[in-house]
Structure 1
Amino acid sequence: MPRTIKDQTVEQLGGRSSVLARQRREHVEMDRLMDQYRALDDGPRREQVLKQVVQLVFSHAFAEETVLWPAVRRSVPDGEELTARVEEEHQQINDLVADIERLPPGDPEREDKVRRAFELIRQDIRDEEDLLLPRLQEAVDPPRLRGLGTAWEAVRQTAPTHPHPVVPRRPPGNALLGVPLSVYDRVRDALGLGSPAVVRKVLTGLAGVLVAALAAVAVRRKRH
């Protein structure tokens, strides 16, 4: 029986840069942030922590679906079944968080969805650490785990940070949509805009400014 990665040393996981060690570090951070959210009474601070949870969970999951799960399907005999189970959990989390982002803070329905999303995130962590990742560990050697870790981290750094329920869970669909969605999400995060409708207005305004500036440059060039 493969051993859960939760209790292994970093060396057993293949070193700090191994995808197993990277995954576990982020799982620990997700748990910490979810516990912090539950412990807080202050509304604005709770919302900030929830935002951190969302950004971490979705960039993490996108990197899994783009880099890690294809490797599991290639290397593990029942990898298709294992990854399908986790992808279904990801989709449920995606749908719940999309609803959460549409509801106002303090709404009882919103709090219930936050609770359910946190339960699913924790279940997803357990399924990955106890079932899926140990199987990958059995199938590939430490240098390969470190290579996957490097690729996973590169994708995570530029991944979308919010839910997009209609995006495919598998390559190439998710990878093709990942770049524009990442730009969209990171503008939203950088400007502190919670509503997607507000982000669309800002991006439309910026696009209009850019088009006007390019037109002005073109007119100047014709005059000269």
Structure 2
Amino acid sequence: MARTMEDQTVEQLGGPSSVLARQRRDHAEMDRLMDRYGTLADGEERERVLVEVVQLVFSHAFAEETVLWPVVRRSVADGEDLTSRVEEEHQQINDLVADIEPLSPGSPEREEKVERVFALIRQDIRDEEDLLLPRLQGALDAVRLRRLGTAWEAVRRSAPTHPHPIVPRRPPGNALLAVPLSLYDRIREGVGLSFPSAAAKRVLAGLVGLLVSGAIAAMVRQRR
């Protein structure tokens, strides 16, 4: 019987470089940051922690959707249903974070949406660790899990770190848009605009608009 990731040793997960161990480390860090957010009184520190949560969640999810879920769909009998469930959770998180960005820090509406996002993230973690990832563990040996972990980590480190409504949830669309949107996010963060105003978003969007257009054109050509 498949076992949850939560109560297995690192060796049982395939070693520290296994995709299962890497996933669990990220999930633990998400939990730590969300718990910390709830204990803080200082507004600036709360915002910093919230940005860390968002950056980790979106890069983590992007790598899952680009590298991991296609393998689940190929290797697990009910992989389509399992990944569709998680992708729906990812989309809900994406939409809520996009709603949060223009709201004033500390406002009741914003805090309510942050609480909803955190609840969805925790539900997503449980669905992955208790349902989806144990099924993948049963389908792949430790060597393949480690190789998959290396590929997943490489994508995670260069993935977009904020919500983008134009990003498809599945390859090849998400992979083709990764570079321009990752650039967009890092420009935002580099100038201190992790949660930019609408005007700032328009300016930054213009800087990478041509790259996004090129990626979309490449995706269209690939489908022909």
- Per the normalisation by structure 2, the TM-score is 0.89
Q: Which moved more, 1:8-17 or 1:195-204?
A: 195-204
- Separation (CA, whole Å) in 2 of partners of 1:167 and 1:161: 12
- Cα deviation for residue 205 of structure 1 reads 7.5
Q: Give the structure 1 partner of residue 46 of structure 2.
A: 46
Structure 1 counterpart of 2:200: 198
Q: Tell me by how many angstroms 1:162 deviates.
A: 0.2
1:185-214 CA-partner distances (Å, limit 9, x unpaired): 01111211131631542575799xxxxxxx
Report the aligned-residue RMSD.
1.6
Alignment of 1:83 with 2:83, yes or no, is yes
Q: How does 1:8-19 map to 2 (within 5 A)?
A: 8-19=8-19
- CA deviation digits over 1:90-118, x for unaligned, max 9? 00000000001111101111110000000
1:144-196 deviation digits (Å, cap 9, x = unpaired):
00010000000000000001123110001111111100000011112111316
For 2:110, the equivalent position in structure 1 comes to 110
1:134 counterpart letter in structure 2: P
CA radius of gyration, larger in: 1
Structure 1: 4+ residue segments shifted above 2 A: 199-207
Letter in 2 for 1:105: P
Residue identity over aligned pairs, in percent, reads 75
Aligned equivalents of 1:206 and 1:76: distance in 2? Answer: 38
In structure 2, what is the Cα distance between the partners aligned to 1:52 and 1:179? 20
2:35 corresponding residue in structure 1: 35
1:137 aligns with 2:134: no
Q: Which runs of 5+ in 2 are unaligned?
A: 210-224
Partner of 1:74: 74
- Following TM superposition, by how much is the alpha carbon of 1:123 offset from its aligned partner in structure 2, in angstroms? 0.2
Q: How does 1:155-170 map to 2 (within 5 A)?
A: 155-170=155-170
Q: Comparing 198-207 with 179-188, which one deviates more in the overlay?
A: 198-207
Alignment-derived partner of residue 100 in structure 1: 100
Partner Cα separation in structure 2 for residue 204 and residue 53 of structure 1: 26
Cα 1:116–1:205 change in 2 (3 A) is closer
Q: Distance in 2 between matches of 1:205 and 1:138?
A: 45
Aligned partner of 1:45: which letter? E
Counterpart position of 1:217: none
Is the 2:183–2:208 Cα contact (8 Å) retained in structure 1? Answer: no
Aligned equivalents of 2:207, 2:73: Cα separation in 1: 43
